[in-house]
Chain A
Amino acid sequence: MDQERDRGQLSISQTLALTVVPERCSGCRTCEIVCAIHNNKVNNPKKARIRVLSLYPQPVIKMPIVCKQCKDPKCMDSCPTDAIYIENGIVKINNNECMGCHACVVSCPFGAIYVHADMDEPIKCELCGGDPQCVKACPKNAIIYVPEHTLGQANRLIDTLKYAHLNEMEYFEHGVKKKLSYAQIETGGLRKDKTKAEQKEGDAAEQ
């Protein structure tokens, strides 16, 4: 029993992965500030390795975007000087080899590598040496650092939450049971209201 538990703990300490739960994110960007302060020693979220992308109103989503430390990274493939390498599961950039071509930035399928005018080399998460500051700072637990083998659980949770939104919804109107799907809601309702000028044009055309 104890042995099993030990083995479990051992596997936990071996590989941890940084992942996000966008449904929880409020978009406060505290992660960006602590990242820049910890890694660059400056109060500048524009130098952070993690950024929150906000979309509104269709769909409403706040997505913290950060490197996933891929096993077969596109950024590494695309680097013409082999400046990108993997060390203990963390994808790193050797700044001495980097020539600042930003091929990695555009090749990342998630857009998780950033650039800033002050810096020649790209900005990429290296997990703060195994103690990601954004995870500790997030007030909503939207950024989590979990054993790799539980990654699916987070994704399953996300998917389940999405499914719940996409499913039909039952509701009562004047005592009559009705159904409405999320997809319907997304396309209906938000008609473009006419401006005063358009209204006048329309009126004139009718006359």
Chain B
Amino acid sequence: MMLLSSEGTEGGARIKGGYLGNILHIDLTAGNSYVEEYDEDFALKYIGGRGFGAKIVMDNLKEGVKPLDPENIIVIAPGVLSGLYLPSSGKTSFVSISPLTGIYADSNMGGMFGVEIRQAGYDALVIHGRAKEFSYIWIDDDTIEIRDASKYKGMKSTETERELKEDLRDEAVKVATIGVAGENLVKFACVNSEWSRNAGRTGMGAIFGSKNVKAIAVRGTKDLPVYDMDKLVELSDKAYKSLHEHPMMKFWQEEGLMSVIDYANTLGIIPTHNFSDAHFEDADKINGEVMTTRHKIGDSACYSCPMACGNICLVKSGKYAGTVTEGPEYESAAMLGSNVGINDFSAVLRGNYLCDELGIDTITSGSMVATIIEGYERGLLSLEDVDGIALSWGDDSSIMLMLEKIANRDGIGDVLAEGPYGVIEKFPQLEPIISHVKGMDQSAYDGRVGVTMALAYATSDIGAHHARAWTIAKELEVGADWTLEEKIDLVIYHQTVRPLFDMLGVCRLPWIELGFDENTYADFYAAATGVKVTLDDLLEKSRSLYNLTRAINMRMGVTRADDHPPERTFNDPIKTGPHAGEHMDREFFERMLDIYYERRGWDTGGRPSDEQLRECGALELLNNR
């Protein structure tokens, strides 16, 4: 262990495993790198992953630095449990200031990339500056090189990964890369790894692009330290067994998240025609059954995950024949399917393939394209505005063209590539029909049904993203008779427990989908690190993290006025389906927001208390304004 024991601590080191104790800083401007050994207090306070990332990003904040400036940093941080023998431990967080929203952002991916970083000996990578030449970063355990990447310029994501592996003569190297969209600084460009694992949201690919970095390739061969291996094996054997025996397990391996299409359509919460509706007539043409019976050719799983929710699909006939893509999962299928009116699963697969290969976020892309289709259909945009392409719902050819235009910043694509804020600046008339919060498009669950999802989107620290608090299922299934306070507490609970998964570097799906006991993670943590904790201890850290990211956002100008769901949530009632006619009342929402702030211990303007800020280490940040 290389962890430095903090001064004055009696009895020596408290951390006896799990952490590697190192953060690798790579300075592209200077062309060098150095290893920082952090102290125990840092690890115990911020846990790891997203927690490390947020703290490092906060400490690096400087006045006047824009997201795509070289001075902005990106932190790539797997969690303290990443790579260990326990279910679904393959998650890695990418943390930075987002070019899409201009505020704090993180996005995570599964796969094996983070595990490889840990095996190379680092708990996190921090990338500073901007390379003079178009480059890729090669991390081979202790050897760090910044290498010429001109050969890979313009390549698609999987092509880059394949070529890099060939050039490095090792198929086991793990690669995270951007597509052409990242190179073109598309503000919702993603980072792709292991063929189709994406850090999709908030534009992390554009940060790579702004740093002149095409890819990071890693080879790590070191042991991951575990304090009590016998205990970890005992806990994990039990955990795997309980997951294997779960009655829904086989179904999960077969359909994965695609089963949500039917579920969301039946509940009436599926995004349809740019969120103008929440029920899609042709949902049964793009659902999990269509995928498994006609398209699925293989399974795919992240590191150590028994659920294998990834589905590799092939289009076997029609004009997209030969398209091979992993996915889509629910979000992609809904945003590139029902939300743009596509009712042909082959076209959904093609859309998913293009987004992955070009390197753009499927959710924001689906939302952006849907917005201009509706804008054009309603006469808010002229034919000239949309490059002479007569857009209509479900016209897959023009939709695919739009995706390519976005990635290549061609014509109207150059406007769409700027995301919601850029589109509104250019076409103010579209503002009422763009569903975004703080500049990020709403994910594929309607915010008008129930009350918690609108609040979850509105108060999310990165913008309207479902994974921050996915409360809608619970509210609709069991929470109908709950008091408003109970519903608000559900949102806060999700916003507290979910960051913990990102901090530990594990996937939330065993918990949310298969009912895996979240208390077990405290035991995993204790077995790995030797630090005895309860789930409540860990949740305190993640509650503190939420205050920290709130502080970063407030420093960057976020106020109560930004904590609002998309305008559509208030103004346009749902047209069809079980929740036809529903929308959110503005005054009701304000009242809900008041209660939310109060229960978080924030003031009416949404500012955490001084004590909360001191506790998370962000008091100076807000007081120095």
**A interface residues with partner B (beta carbon < 8 Å):** 23-30, 33-34, 37, 41-47, 51, 53-54, 56-58, 60-62, 116-118, 137, 139-140, 165, 169, 171, 173, 178, 180, 185-190, 193, 195-198
Contacts and interface: CB of A to CB of B under 8 A. Distances in A.
B454 interface: no
A134 to B, nearest CB: 13
Given A26-B253, A44-B222, A189 B321 contact: yes
A58 B159 CA distance: 11
A189 B307 CA distance: 31
A26 B310 contact: yes
A28 B317 contact: no
B222 to A, nearest CB: 7
Contacts of A188: 321-322
A117 B221 CA distance: 8
B114 to A, nearest CB: 13
Residue among A28, A53, A140 with the most chain B CB within 10 A?
A28
Contact of A195 (B180, B233, B301, B303): B180
Interface residues of B, number: 61
Interface string B174-218: 000000100010000000001110000000000000000000000
Interface string B392-424: 000000000000100011100000000000000
Interface stretch (B28-36, B292-300, B529-537): B292-300
The 10 closest A-B pairs by CB, nearest first: A189-B322, A139-B306, A195-B154, A28-B301, A26-B308, A26-B301, A26-B299, A57-B324, A42-B223, A44-B223
B310 A43 contact: no
A158 B135 CA distance: 42
Contacts of B224: 42-44
Contacts of B321: 180, 185, 188-189
Given A43-B84, A60-B312, A28 B305 contact: yes
Given A28-B301, A28-B303, A195-B180, 13 more contacts: A28-B302, A30-B306, A34-B85, A37-B229, A54-B194, A57-B195, A57-B325, A60-B297, A139-B306, A180-B316, A180-B317, A190-B322, A193-B156
A188 B222 CA distance: 42
Contact of B324 (A58, A62, A140, A165): A58
B316 to A, nearest CB: 6
Nearest to B232: A43
A131 B112 CA distance: 28
Contacts of B305: 28, 30
A193 B353 CA distance: 13
A171 B321 CA distance: 12
Given A43-B84, A43-B85, A173-B317, A140 B308 contact: yes
Nearest to A53: B171
A144 to B, nearest CB: 16
B18 to A, nearest CB: 10
15 contacts: A26-B301, A43-B84, A43-B232, A56-B324, A56-B326, A57-B324, A118-B221, A139-B244, A140-B308, A165-B297, A169-B316, A178-B317, A189-B315, A189-B323, A197-B154
Grouping DSSP codes into helix (H, G, I), strand (E, B) and loop, the B interface class, with mixed when no group exceeds half, is: loop
A184 to B, nearest CB: 8
A3 B609 CA distance: 80
Contacts of A27: 299-301
Contacts of B307: 139
A46 B119 contact: yes
Grouping DSSP codes into helix (H, G, I), strand (E, B) and loop, the A interface class, with mixed when no group exceeds half, is: mixed
A189 B308 CA distance: 27
A195 B171 CA distance: 26
Contacts of A23: 298
Contact of A171 (B158, B226, B244, B316): B316
Nearest to A56: B195
B320 interface: yes
Contact of A29 (B196, B304, B310): B304
B337 interface: no
Nearest to B244: A139
Contacts of A37: 85, 229, 233
B557 interface: no
A61 B318 CA distance: 24
Nearest to B161: A56
Contacts of A58: 324
A171 B408 contact: no
A139 B242 CA distance: 12
A130 to B, nearest CB: 19
Contact of A137 (B112, B172, B240): B240
Nearest to B86: A33
A47 B316 CA distance: 39
A34 B310 CA distance: 22
Interface string B27-67: 00000000000000000000000000000000000000000
Contacts of A51: 172
Contacts of A186: 322
B351 interface: no
A57 B154 CA distance: 19
B314 interface: yes
Residue among A41, A57, A193 with the most chain B CB within 10 A?
A57
Interface string B446-462: 00000000000000000
